Amino acid sequence: MPTPARVVVLPQQPGPLQIVSLDLPDPGPYQVVVKQYASGVCHSQLHQMHNPRANPVVLGHESTGIVLQVGSAVEHVAAGDMVMVTWVPRNANGTDRAPESATLALPDGSVARSQNVFTWADTTIADEQYVVKVANDTKRDVTAIIGCAVMTGAGAVENTAGVKAGESVVIFGVGGVGLSAVVAAKAVGANPIIAVDLDDTKLAFARQFGATHAINAGQGDPIQQIKALTTNTSKRNFMGMPVSGADYAFDCIGLKQTMEQIVPAVRDGTFGARTGGTAVLVGVPQTPVQLNAVDMLINEKKFVGSIGGSCSPDRDFPKYLDWYANGQLDLDAMVTERFSLDQINEATHALETGKISGRAILEF
């Protein structure tokens, strides 16, 4: 039977987020209804809020909750199971069926649409491909951020880049996603791990998670500081100069300036011996970017994208929960702010104005 829910709705016209009470429908064959305990508050939702839209939108894409109902074709979860909701298909290679994005009929007769799922709600309905089963004793609050922040940052390091022990890493932007990248870099044995940000508090926080060096990009040229930390006089580039720069640079922000900094931040190739470093775009870009093609050609550098940390949630979420259990991933410290559903506009304002040093969650 229908399930009552309170849902955050972004109106079609500019204005504050609204909380709407409604009834969720019974699940379709491949749908799951989830009572949620907590949801992450992510920067990408700010982009959705500022971009034009053709209809109302329901937001949020990472949560922890318990299954209330399942559709007739759902086999991997049942009512009473603890789950995590995410926006990446849990096992894209395991099905030929394309998962369906959630839509929601609103009381005024309009239809709100989502980017795959919506988790800014006390109860949600989602395609089963976006619902990952976890152990019933999984902690209900801070684990919510695994479904986006952790998998995006950590996965970029492990899955997209494939960083190995002893390789050097620089991470631009150490909010929740960047901190997760720091954790993964430490887990694989990268060294050095250089955090770059404009906020000294965030940089100090990044050291707690494993950063070996911290650079305030507002105090001097961050590229020159990165090169000074990574110069290898035993290697020579195409021009015969000592090689400098990180093996990998991750932009966890997506601003034009940081996107253009990650290529010069990675090392030159050693002429005739090995290719140059890899710049990885993790943050969601909102502007075009100009790259130095000569630098990329001569020094054989690479610029690649990483969406959702190239993750497969069925495979990766248990690992990140293990990291949390054994102390490698301190989610309790990473979650620095908590808000109720009724405080959603306060939460997004705090995020936009830089008042959240780690990651914020909504608790239901």
Would you state the structure tokens that stand for residue 315, as one six-digit string?
A: 């495979």
At residue 70, the pLDDT reads 98
CA distances, 25 to each of 125, 225, 311 (Å) = 8, 56, 30
> Where along the chain do its domains lie?
3-140+330-363, 150-308
Banded pLDDT at 232 (limits 50, 70, 90): confident
Strands (E), the chain: 3-10, 18-24, 31-41, 57-58, 62-70, 82-86, 103-105, 111-113, 123-127, 131-133, 169-172, 193-197, 213-216, 232-236, 242-243, 248-251, 278-281, 302-305, 335-340, 359-363
**pLDDT per residue as tens digits for the range 145-196:** 999 999 999 999 999 999 999 999 999 999 999 999 999 999 999 999 999 9
Residue 272 scores a pLDDT above 90 = no
Distance CA 158, CA 184 (A): 7
Residue 236 scores a pLDDT above 90 = no
Banded pLDDT at 349 (limits 50, 70, 90): very high
**pLDDT per residue as tens digits for the range 284-316:** 998 999 999 999 999 999 999 999 999 999 999
Q: What is the CATH number of domain 3-140+330-363?
A: 3.90.180.10
Q: In what order do the strands lie in the sheet with 3-10?
A: 18-24, 3-10, 57-58, 111-113, 103-105
Residue 1 scores a pLDDT above 80 = no
Q: What is the 3-state secondary structure (H, E, C) of 10-36?
A: ECCCCCCCEEEEEEECCCCCCEEEEEE
**Of 89-93, 216-220, 231-235, 277-281, minimum mean pLDDT range:** 231-235
Distance CA 329, CA 308 (A): 18
Distance CA 155, CA 307 (A): 9
pTM of the model: 0.93
Distance CA 208, CA 186 (A): 11
What is the residue-averaged pLDDT of the chain? 95
For range 216-229, the mean pLDDT: 96
Class of domain 150-308: alpha beta
Residue 76 scores a pLDDT above 90 = yes
Is residue 139 exposed (0-12), middle (13-18) or buried (19+ Cβ within 10 Å)? middle
**pLDDT per residue as tens digits for the range 16-39:** 999 999 999 999 999 999 999 999
**Of 14-23, 88-97, 162-171, 198-207, minimum mean pLDDT range:** 88-97
Distance CA 312, CA 248 (A): 22
Would you state the structure tokens that stand for residue 129, as one six-digit string?
A: 């491909």
Tokens 């702010």 belong to residue: 337
**pLDDT per residue as tens digits for the range 117-156:** 999 999 999 999 999 999 999 999 999 999 999 999 999 9
Residue 321 scores a pLDDT above 80 = yes
Q: Are 237 and 253 in contact (CB under 8 A)?
A: no
For range 104-110, the mean pLDDT: 95
